[in-house]
Amino acid sequence: MKLAVIGLGQCGCRVADHFARLNLKAQSERKATIAPIVIAANTDQADLSGLRFIKNDYSHRVLMGLRQTLGHGVGKINELGAQLAREDGDKILDALKSEKRFYETHAFLVVGGTAGGTGSGSLPVIVKMLKERYVNKPVYALAVLPFEHEQYSEARSVYNSATSLKSTFEVADAVFLADNQRYVKKDSSIANNMEKINRIITEPFFDMMCAGEVTKRKYVGARTVDAGDLIASFEGWTTIGIGRAELPAFRFPWEIVKSKFNDKAIESFRGSQALDAAISDMSIAVNARDAAKAIYIMSGPAKEMNMDMVKAVSDSIAEIAPNALIRGGDFPGEKHFIDLTLILSQLSVVPRIAEIYEQATRYAEQHQGQLQETHSKIQQLSEIGRELPLL
């Protein structure tokens, strides 16, 4: 699957930057192009300058709202971010049209952090603009949820997240959710944490995008998962995860003969092991029973993946997600591991989203009351000094 990736705001642009890195990795390792177009759009000029892999020109790094913000962001006011996206969104559409490989892409992926101002406000706006302009091409959103400390100490972040998620869900074909808090390493520096989190968020998409785009015979699976399978599997709230099972290291021929029986017994177990790891590392915590659609991609050495392994994985997914329509396939890619990418879509219950909505509703009620109280106190103070002369 070839994606046109658009990053919005600081968080969205940095995640999009890693999609550009994945494209270079796919070209180098698999001879495939998976993200021919990656565009970063922001209201903060400094953030755009700090990207590493996205091309450094005005059509790939789009500065929005320069007249209003002077290139310094919107200060977490997502209403302003939405307004600037409506005014300057045509810059992004023009940048897409100018790309020679645009019509090779199968879908859009619009990435944004929900806690900030630019990404939160512009995410639903840009998704809607793309939907209206390109009717036959799916538009997916990747929404990055706030850290725990943002949710409980920065009330505005929760309000931004709730309004952004609600608005984006109404217009996008599917919304991939990534919970920042699930990837935090508390003993790492802020810079290392952010870089690693952005990398982890994008890695599960690699095999998913590569599987149907490779042309070398050794990389083509017996049951290929291509863009058609993926498009049919993505709808509504969606989560993605990847799990890995390590294969035995090199052994001498006589050791292989001795352990052949034991290895055969655990071959199918490696697929289940990778599946367990994928479920525990999903991008957001959900119950698989709440998914109406599921798709998996198993990647590893061709000789290590067999029908017993595929059956074990498929049976396990059917057991944990009994209400889901399941699709899947293999992708001979990795050399030393069995990797399993699992995507659960059309989720009917997402506890984290419900929590954010409830908290944002309380904030809106309290904030309105606080504003009225503040205006009243300011008015009283003005009344007290009404008789004083002006200088």
One domain for residues 125 and 263: no
One domain for residues 273 and 190: no
One domain for residues 17 and 145: yes
Q: In what helix (H) or strand (E) does residue 245 lie, and over which residues does it extend?
A: strand 236-246
Query: In whole numbers, what is the pLDDT of the chain averaged over residues?
Result: 87
Q: What is the pLDDT of residues 214-270, one digit of tens each?
A: 877 777 767 788 899 999 999 999 999 999 988 776 555 545 444 555 565 566 678
Residue 369 inside a domain? The answer is no
Domain count, the chain: 2
Question: Which of the listed residues 151, 186, 202 is the one where a domain comes to its end?
Answer: 202
Q: What is the pLDDT of residue 92?
A: 96
Residue 383 inside a domain? The answer is no
Q: What is the pLDDT of residue 306?
A: 78
Write out the residue range of the structural domain in which residue 157 sits: 3-202
Residue 264 inside a domain? The answer is yes
Which position has the higher pLDDT, 186 or 147?
147
pLDDT (mean) for 161-188: 87
One domain for residues 252 and 191: no
Which position has the higher pLDDT, 83 or 383?
83
Nearest alpha-carbon partner for 5 in 16, 15, 21: 16
Q: What is the pLDDT of residue 172?
A: 97
Q: What is the pLDDT of residue 258?
A: 46
One domain for residues 248 and 190: no
pTM of the model: 0.90
What percent of the chain lies above the pLDDT cut of 70? 88
Pairing label, strands 236-246, 337-347: antiparallel
Q: What is the pLDDT of residue 155?
A: 79
Q: What is the pLDDT of residues 341-358, one digit of tens each?
A: 999 999 999 999 999 999
pLDDT surpasses 90 at 75: no
Sheet holding 291-299, edge to edge: 61-63, 37-42, 3-8, 107-113, 139-145, 174-179, 236-246, 337-347, 291-299, 325-331
Task: Find out whether 64 and 43 touch, Cβ atoms under 8 Å.
Answer: yes
